[in-house]
Amino acid sequence: MIRVGIGYDVHPLVPGRPLILGGVSIPHTKGLDGHSDADVLMHAICDAVLGALGLGDIGQFFPNTDPRWKGAQSRIFLVEAARQVAARRGRIVNIDATLIAQAPRVLPHAAQMKANIAEALGIDSGRIGIKATTNEHLGFIGREEGIAAMAVAGVDLND
Ligand code: MG
């Protein structure tokens, strides 16, 4: 049976932090703030995969009050999500995600993001879609105060 999950995440953009999206460090005047590396794209994908399993969200697996995850590379969250799928003898069918960022332009980095996410999840990068949009200068994303991501995951659970 194919199960689907949805994920959404947002982090504030602040000076003095690196901007890491999909495991790619992107040159920019600001970066995303958070307990981990604040990779909003990987967090949304992680929630989508966990959601397909009915397991809740990333915060239940990796609480942001736990010093172990301070400054953590978000890759490890995806590795754990994939491990949860494998533990149920399941298979990630596909991931589709959209980044919502007014700036900088992120699409030129999409191929490397896909490669990083595919490696962390242990799937072919052809199973991953990454799209990007601005927020047409509307709201907090439009004012470049934050970046959001949404994702869906399809997981085949053979049940
Ligand atoms: Mg997050």
In terms of Cβ atoms closer than 10 Å to its own Cβ (0-12, 13-18, 19+), residue 83 is exposed
* Cα of 29 from ligand 1 centre, angstroms: 20
- Which residue segment(s) compose the domain that 123 sits in? 2-156
Closest C-alpha among 11, 59, 81, 7 to residue 39:
11
* Cα of 152 from ligand 1 centre, angstroms: 15
* Cα of 159 from ligand 1 centre, angstroms: 30
* Cα of 35 from ligand 1 centre, angstroms: 8
Contact yes or no for 130/112 (Cβ under 8 A): no
pLDDT tens by residue, 91-119: 999 999 999 999 999 999 999 999 999 99
Q: Is the pLDDT of residue 26 over 90?
A: yes
* Cα of 117 from ligand 1 centre, angstroms: 16
* Cα of 37 from ligand 1 centre, angstroms: 9
* Cα of 10 from ligand 1 centre, angstroms: 6
Q: Is the pLDDT of residue 31 over 90?
A: yes
- Report the domain count for the chain: 1
* Cα of 41 from ligand 1 centre, angstroms: 8
* Cα of 91 from ligand 1 centre, angstroms: 24
Terminus-to-terminus CA distance in the chain, angstroms? 6
* Cα of 151 from ligand 1 centre, angstroms: 13
Mean pLDDT of 29-43: 97
With tokens 């995806």, the residue in question is 78
With tokens 């794209």, the residue in question is 41
Q: What percent of the chain has pLDDT over 90?
A: 88
pLDDT tens by residue, 60-73: 888 888 888 888 89
**Do you know the residue count of the chain?**
159
Return the CATH number at 41. 3.30.1330.50
Closest C-alpha among 7, 72, 69 to residue 41:
7
pTM of the entire predicted model: 0.96
Average pLDDT across the chain, whole number: 96
